[in-house]
Amino acid sequence: MAMRAYAAAKRTLSVGDKLADVNWGLVLLITLCAGAGIAMLYSVAGGHMQPWALSQTIKFLVGFLVMVGVATVDVRVWMSLAYPAYALALLLLVAVVAVGHMGLGAQRWVNVGGVDLQPSELMKISLVLALARFLHGKSVEEISRPLNLGIALGMIAIPAIFVVLQPNLGTTLIIVMDGCALLFLAGLSWWWIVPTVGSVAVAVPLVWRFVLHDYQKARVETFLDPGADSLGKGWNITQALIAIGSGGAAGKGFLGGTQSRLNFLPEKQTDFIFTNFAEEFGFVGSVALLILFAVIIGYGVQIAMTARSQFARLLAMGVTLNFFFYIMINGLMVMNLIPVVGIPMPLLSYGGSAMLTVMFGFGLLLSVQIHRQVEIPRHSGGII
Amino acid sequence: MPVFDKKDKSRYTAFTRRTLAMGGGMTAVFAVLGGQLYKLQILEGEDYKVRAEDNRVSERPISPPRGRLMDRFGTELANNKRNYRVLIVSEQATQGVSEAIDAIGKVIQLTDQQKKRVLGEIAANKKFVPVPVAENLSWEEFSRLNLHLPYLPGVQPDVGETRDYPFGKEMVHVLGYVGSVAPEDMDGDDGRLLDVPGFRVGKRGIEKAFDKEVRGKAGFSKVEVDAYGRVKRELGKDPGLAGQDVWLTLDCELQRFADQRLGDESAAAMVMDVETGDVLSLSSTPGFDPNWFNVGVTGPQWRELTTSDYKPLLNKMTSGIYPPGSTFKTAVALAAIEAGIATPDYHVTCNGRITVGNHTFNCWAWTTYHRGHGSLDVEGGIKNSCDVFFYETARRLGIDAIEQSARKLGLGAATGIELPGEHSGLIPSRAWKQKTYKQAWQPGDTLSVGIGQGYVTATPLQLCQQAARLASGKAVSPRLVHSVGNRLVSRPEAPKLDFSDEALTKVRSGMNKAMNEPGGTAFAWRIAEPGLEMAGKTGTAQVRAYSNEEHARGVTKNSALDWKLRDHAMFIGFAPVAAPKYAIVCMIEHGAVAAHPHVQMARDILTFAQKRGTLAKPTAYPVRSSSLPPRKEPA
Give residue B635's pLDDT.
Answer: 42
Q: In terms of DSSP bridges, do strands B535-541 and A110-112 run parallel, antiparallel, or are they unpaired?
A: unpaired
- In order, the DSSP letters of B394-423 are HHHH-HHHHHHHHHHTTTTS----SSTT--
Given CB atoms, is B227 within the 8 Å cutoff of chain A?
A: yes
pLDDT category, B626, cuts 50, 70, 90? low
Tell me which residue in A262, A282, A324 faces B26 most closely, judged by beta carbons. A324
| B122 to chain A, closest Cα gap in Å | 23
Please write the tens of the pLDDT for every residue from B386-430: 999 999 999 999 999 999 999 999 999 999 999 999 999 999 999
With an 8 Å Cβ cutoff, are A245 and B40 in contact? yes
Shortest CA distance from A286: residue in chain B: B37
Give residue A381's pLDDT.
Answer: 62
CATH code that applies to domain B60-248? 3.90.1310.10
Tell me which residue in B19, B40, B47 faces A305 most closely, judged by beta carbons. B19
Measured CA to CA, the distance from residue A74 to residue A380 in angstroms comes to 14
**Mean pLDDT (whole number) for B479-486:** 93
Tell me which residue in A279, A283, A308 faces B42 most closely, judged by beta carbons. A283
With an 8 Å Cβ cutoff, are A246 and B51 in contact? yes
Give residue A78's pLDDT.
Answer: 94
Residue of B4, B7, B19 to mutate, interface with A, max A Cβ within 10 Å = B19
Q: 0.90 exceeded by the pTM?
A: no
Angle, helices A352-370/A119-136, rounded to nearest 10 degrees: 20
Residue of B3, B4, B22, B33 to mutate, interface with A, max A Cβ within 10 Å = B33
| Lowest mean pLDDT across A349-363, B129-143, B324-338, B375-389 | B129-143
Q: Are residues B427 and B412 in contact, defined by beta-carbon separation less than 8 angstroms?
A: yes
Measured CA to CA, the distance from residue B373 to residue B366 in angstroms comes to 9
With an 8 Å Cβ cutoff, are B42 and A332 in contact? no
Q: Where do runs of H (alpha helix) occur along A273-380?
A: 273-306, 310-334, 352-370
Given CB atoms, is B11 within the 8 Å cutoff of chain A?
A: yes
**Quick check: B460 pLDDT over 80?**
yes
**Mean pLDDT (whole number) for B41-58:** 88
Please write the tens of the pLDDT for every residue from B154-171: 888 888 788 899 998 999
Cis-peptide, bond into residue B597, ω within 30° of zero: no
Spell out the residues 6+ positions from residue B323 whose beta carbon is closer than 8 angstroms to its own: B452, B453, B454, B456, B457, B458, B541, B542, B568
Spell out the residues 6+ positions from residue A197 whose beta carbon is closer than 8 angstroms to its own: none
Domain boundaries, chain A: 2-370
Tell me which residue in A139, A247, A258 faces B41 most closely, judged by beta carbons. A247
Measured CA to CA, the distance from residue A30 to residue A348 in angstroms comes to 10
Shortest CA distance from A247: residue in chain B: B41
Q: Are residues A128 and A81 in contact, defined by beta-carbon separation less than 8 angstroms?
A: no
With an 8 Å Cβ cutoff, are B52 and A139 in contact? no
The closest alpha carbon to A286, from B37, B95, B255, B150, belongs to B37
With an 8 Å Cβ cutoff, are B15 and A313 in contact? yes
pLDDT category, B550, cuts 50, 70, 90? very low
pLDDT category, B190, cuts 50, 70, 90? low
pLDDT category, B339, cuts 50, 70, 90? very high
B278 or A234, higher pLDDT: B278
| B233 to chain A, closest Cα gap in Å | 11
Q: CA A40 → CA A45, A111, A236, A341, B41, distances in Å?
A: 8, 29, 19, 22, 19
With an 8 Å Cβ cutoff, are B232 and A332 in contact? no
The closest alpha carbon to B385, from B373, B395, B394, B375, belongs to B373
A165 or B499, higher pLDDT: B499
| A239 to chain B, closest Cα gap in Å | 8
Backbone angles phi, psi at B554, to 5 degrees: 90, 30
Which residues in B lie closer than 8 A to residue A140 (C-beta atoms)?
7, 10-11, 14
Q: In terms of DSSP bridges, do strands B246-248 and B69-70 run parallel, antiparallel, or are they unpaired?
A: parallel
Query: pLDDT means per 10 residues in chain A (384 residues)?
Result: 53 80 93 95 90 93 95 92 94 82 58 67 93 90 90 94 82 92 90 86 80 77 55 72 92 88 80 93 96 96 93 95 95 87 89 89 95 82 59
Dihedral sign of CA atoms B525, B530, B532, B537 in order: positive
Which residues in A lie closer than 8 A to residue B27 (C-beta atoms)?
294
| Lowest mean pLDDT across B128-132, B391-395, B577-581 | B128-132
Shortest CA distance from A188: residue in chain B: B14
Tell me which residue in A185, A249, A335 faces B45 most closely, judged by beta carbons. A249
**Quick check: B11 pLDDT over 90?**
no
As a whole-number percent, the residues of chain B with pLDDT over 90 amount to 55
**Quick check: B102 pLDDT over 60?**
yes
**Quick check: B509 pLDDT over 90?**
yes
B90 flagged as catalytic: no
With an 8 Å Cβ cutoff, are A262 and B224 in contact? yes
Given CB atoms, is B375 within the 8 Å cutoff of chain A?
A: no
Given CB atoms, is B19 within the 8 Å cutoff of chain A?
A: yes
**Mean pLDDT (whole number) for B489-516:** 92
Residues 228-287 of B with CB under 8 A from A: 228, 232
Give residue B198's pLDDT.
Answer: 66
| Lowest mean pLDDT across A126-130, A156-160, B121-125, B461-465 | B121-125
Shortest CA distance from A275: residue in chain B: B37
Give residue B366's pLDDT.
Answer: 87
Domain boundaries, chain B: 60-248, 252-612
Please write the tens of the pLDDT for every residue from B139-154: 888 888 888 888 888 8
Q: In DSSP terms, which residues pair with B501 in a beta bridge?
A: none
Of B90, B326, B405, B472, which is the active-site residue?
B326
Q: Would you tell me which CATH number, out of the four given (3.40.50.300, 3.40.710.10, 3.10.180.10, 3.40.1030.10), belongs to the domain B252-612?
A: 3.40.710.10
Measured CA to CA, the distance from residue B620 to residue B611 in angstroms comes to 20
Q: Are residues A368 and A307 in contact, defined by beta-carbon separation less than 8 angstroms?
A: yes
The chain-wide mean pLDDT, for chain B, equals 87
Shortest CA distance from B20: residue in chain A: A301
Measured CA to CA, the distance from residue B7 to residue A274 in angstroms comes to 44
- In order, the DSSP letters of B520-557 are STTGGG---STT---EEEEEEE------HHHHHTT--S
* Environment class of A97 (CB within 10 Å of its CB; exposed 0-12, middle 13-18, buried 19+): buried
Tell me which residue in A245, A293, A321 faces B41 most closely, judged by beta carbons. A245
A142 or B230, higher pLDDT: A142
